[in-house]
Amino acid sequence: MLILISIAAFIATFAGGLLALRFRDKLHLVLGFSAGAVIAVAFFDLIPEAFELAEGFREPATIALYMAIGFFAYLFIDRLLFFHASRREEQDHGMDMHDHAHTHVGGLGAGGLVAHSFFDGVAVGLAFQVSVEVGALVATAVLIHKISDGISTVGVVLKGENAERSLLPAQRGEGSHARALKWLTFAAVAPVLGVLSTAAISIPENALGVMLAVFAGFFIYMGASDLIPESHHAHPKLLTTVMTFLGAGVLYAAISFAGV
């Protein structure tokens, strides 16, 4: 099962990157759907499951605290891996910081996305230790998110290449797609390695609720602070909002069906 999910994660990430190279004008719809799906998994599955598993081991307030820890830990990782990398490259190339407040530029940003993809794979592997049902739902959310990761990886590399060419015209047209494909391959392999790494990790029963609470915080941040703003950036908001609600509805239906 985990092997198949690893292969699916590789394919989803690569497919997202290829979409970014071919259909740039429609990507906001994919990101909008991804945002709704990821947030729905947190609210409708991970949080209820975390409270249920923690019953008898942890107080509800403690589980809520771990959700907050997951949220802010992901925020910290996001800023650590992406913001400083983006700022460094912008300073090197004399770019305006405001123009890239939500954009991770070039190789350093792409490297951060690769690390992020690895931890997504870890989340899937550990979720299967809770139950097959929880693992399947987390894997579904991650696979949907992998499409946006592929899009983001290609986007940050191409944006960095465009910035470099604007300063160094002699490099115009030299290997930007090849570099994007290289980083896309790294990002596609990373979740596979993350899933496989959990084969050596065993989570005690009394810690499973805490783990899901932390993952819920991760997913809420991922959807609300990354995918939703990115899907709405410079695009008509009505259709992207509809896609976000559609993504949440589809995952809610899947979760409800799985619980029958």
Taking the C-alpha atoms of residue 178 and residue 241, their distance in angstroms, rounded to an integer, is 34
State the average pLDDT for the chain.
Answer: 75
Tell whether the model's pLDDT for residue 84 goes beyond 70.
no
Tell whether the model's pLDDT for residue 66 goes beyond 90.
yes
CA 216 to chain centre: 13
What pLDDT does 197 receive? 86
> Span 160-181, mean pLDDT?
55
Weakest-pLDDT range from 15-24, 38-47, 136-145: 15-24
Tell whether the model's pLDDT for residue 176 goes beyond 50.
yes
Residue in 218, 217, 222, 211 with CA at minimum distance from that of residue 247: 222
Tell whether the model's pLDDT for residue 105 goes beyond 50.
no
> Span 79-86, mean pLDDT?
58
What pLDDT does 169 receive? 46
Give the count of domains, the chain: 1
Of residues 149 and 4, the one with the higher pLDDT is 4
What pLDDT does 63 receive? 94
What pLDDT does 67 receive? 95
Question: Helix, strand, coil shares of the chain as percentages rounded to 5?
Answer: 90, 0, 10
Tell whether the model's pLDDT for residue 198 goes beyond 70.
yes
State pLDDT tens for residues 50-64. 898 888 888 999 999
**Counting Cβ atoms within 10 Å, is residue 169 exposed (0-12), middle (13-18) or buried (19+)?**
exposed
State the DSSP H helix or E strand holding residue 62, giving kind and residue range, or none if neither: helix 60-78
State pLDDT tens for residues 219-260. 898 788 877 887 777 567 788 899 889 988 988 887 777 654
Of residues 180 and 93, the one with the higher pLDDT is 180
Tell whether the model's pLDDT for residue 23 goes beyond 80.
no
121: containing domain? 2-259
What tokens were used for 166?
A: 């604007």
What pLDDT does 163 receive? 47
What pLDDT does 174 receive? 42
What pLDDT does 171 receive? 44
Tell whether the model's pLDDT for residue 180 goes beyond 60.
yes
Taking the C-alpha atoms of residue 249 and residue 43, their distance in angstroms, rounded to an integer, is 12
Taking the C-alpha atoms of residue 47 and residue 42, their distance in angstroms, rounded to an integer, is 6
SS3 sequence of 92-157: HHCCCHHHHCCCCCHHHHHHHHHHHHHHHHHHHHHHHHHCHHHHHHHHHHHHHHHHHHHHHHHHHH
Tell whether the model's pLDDT for residue 150 goes beyond 70.
yes
